[in-house]
Amino acid sequence: MKFGLCAVSAFLTASSLCVSFGTAFVVPLAPIGDIATSPRPFGRPFGRPLRPLRLSSSSAPPSEPTRRPRPPYVPGIISDPDYVRIFDTTLRDGEQSPGATLTSSEKLEIARNLARLGVDIIEAGFPIASPDDFEGVKGIADAVGNEVFDDGYVPVICGLSRANEKDISRAWEAVKGARLPRIHTFIATSEIHMATKLKMSPDQVVNTAVRAVTYARGLGCDDVEFSPEDAGRSDPEFLCRILGEVIKAGATTLNIPDTTGWNMPWEFGELIRYLRENVEGADTVVFSTHCQNDLGLSTANSLAGARNGARQLECTINGIGERAGNASLEEIVMSLALKGNTNFGDWHGNMGTGKLYTSINPVYIMPTSRMVTDYTGMLCQPHKAIVG
């Protein structure tokens, strides 16, 4: 094996960089099915052929997953405060990249790879968007959402909805077949969005959010994520108010989006800290981040959120997504794998030891990256961190 200047990328190309209690070592690539040359006319730069992962005909999970044990999944609670849940939204926000439309069968293959990778939550789509999106999400929930690995892991399958009953009902119909279904509902909270997009007062926005979460819980969904869209530009005091109310209504995860990629890492980290300290009931939910990359800071902002107590990080394979994209899963995961043990002490309160970790198996980062590149047609630049 040859090691280039980008050691992590080299490790992940033909092997896995495993980190256990701060010790890095290389293990061989696990058997993951047949790898074949891409059937599509897309190739890597400089003539290197694209070779995405091809799953075998069997949908059964691998018998010996090599990943770190994770705490039992409970909505709103993580028994180990050092554990960081990885929420992958490649199939929802990632597909909103211009020209990145995926078929239902392609989504299912990617979802199976995400499960092999070990992501905690797969946001499979926006079921109300179209009949095809509904069927795609339902297919993933019914299949991948019921494929239990030998270590007991099965991914949460999540559907996105706006804060209205029609959207929420459609999302629930799509995901309820999974062992661990989740509804993710949202409404804008920044002054400019409330006034110009929603044309609603702050009181109306709060009432709508509460009704949405209450309705989702009433359908039988005990795992409800709420996002105040454009939180990065919202009034922090108003965020405290609306988040406290949706917690009372039954929300289990509070996702704080930097929707426009506006925040600096120190600003975003401080926002997470402020909300954790001032939202009523904050200790009964999991705080999450969703950072766009308009200023190239999505990964940095996500990690700043983790350093200040966020324990779910939303991201996509290859960082694909709207406009400039999302936080990159591979960058977040490998940053935590290599630095999480030493550099993430919570400087603003007592939350675990600060030795953060995930249960991602990095063996599957490169194959999943290649599959997403192939199916979306969106090539990574040659110098893309980790997977370039």
pLDDT digit string, tens, across residues 170-225: 999 999 999 999 999 999 999 999 999 999 999 999 999 999 999 999 999 999 99
Determine the length of the chain: 388
Unique residue bearing structure tokens 């709060």: 206
Top mean-pLDDT range of 7-11, 96-100, 303-307: 303-307
The pLDDT score that the predictor gives to residue 161 is 98
Pairing of strands 23-28, 15-20: antiparallel
CA 227 to CA 163: how far, in whole Å?
A: 10
The H or E element containing residue 173 is helix 165-175
Whether 41 has a pLDDT exceeding 60, the answer reads no
| Residue 25 CB coordination number (10 Å) | 11
The H or E element containing residue 204 is helix 202-218
Q: Which domain holds residue 106?
A: 102-251
- Of the candidates 9, 17, 21, 70, the one whose C-alpha atom is nearest the C-alpha of residue 362 is 17
Collapsed DSSP state (helix, strand, coil) of residue 364? helix
Share of the chain above pLDDT 70, in %: 82
CA 29 to CA 367: how far, in whole Å?
A: 11
Q: How many helices (H) and strands (E) does the chain have?
A: 11, 10
Span 90-117, mean pLDDT?
92
The pLDDT score that the predictor gives to residue 349 is 58
* Beta-carbon contacts of residue 283 (< 8 Å; ≥ 6 apart): none
* Beta-carbon contacts of residue 323 (< 8 Å; ≥ 6 apart): 261, 292, 293, 294
Q: Does a structural domain hold residue 297? A: no
pLDDT in tens, 45-74: 333 344 444 443 345 555 545 789 999 999
- Of the candidates 197, 136, 147, the one whose C-alpha atom is nearest the C-alpha of residue 170 is 136
Query: What CATH number does the domain containing 246 carry?
Result: 3.20.20.70
Collapsed DSSP state (helix, strand, coil) of residue 61? coil
Whether 255 has a pLDDT exceeding 60, the answer reads yes
Q: Does a structural domain hold residue 155? A: yes
Within its chain, how far is the Cα of 352 from the centroid?
22
User: What is the band of 350 on the pLDDT scale with cuts at 50, 70, 90?
Assistant: low
The pLDDT score that the predictor gives to residue 55 is 47
pTM reported for the whole predicted model: 0.85
Q: Does a structural domain hold residue 178? A: yes
Q: Does a structural domain hold residue 192? A: yes
CA 342 to CA 355: how far, in whole Å?
A: 6
Copy the structure tokens of residue 83.
Answer: 């554990």
Q: Does a structural domain hold residue 284? A: no
What is the DSSP code string of 282-333?
GGGSEEEEEEB-TTS-HHHHHHHHHHTT--EEEEBGGG--STT-B-BHHHHH
SS (H, E, C) 73-86: CECCECCCCCECEE
Whether 127 has a pLDDT exceeding 90, the answer reads yes
Span 34-50, mean pLDDT?
37
Q: Judge whether 359 and 293 are in contact, CB under 8 Å.
A: no
Q: Does a structural domain hold residue 125? A: yes
Q: What is the mean pLDDT of the chain?
A: 86
Share of the chain above pLDDT 90, in %: 77
Q: Does a structural domain hold residue 224? A: yes
Whether 360 has a pLDDT exceeding 80, the answer reads yes
Number of domains in the chain: 1
User: What is the band of 2 on the pLDDT scale with cuts at 50, 70, 90?
Assistant: very low
Copy the structure tokens of residue 141.
Answer: 């929930």
The pLDDT score that the predictor gives to residue 99 is 79
- Of the candidates 84, 54, 67, the one whose C-alpha atom is nearest the C-alpha of residue 27 is 67
Q: Does a structural domain hold residue 286? A: no
- Of the candidates 213, 135, 146, 122, the one whose C-alpha atom is nearest the C-alpha of residue 174 is 135
Q: Judge whether 93 and 133 are in contact, CB under 8 Å.
A: no
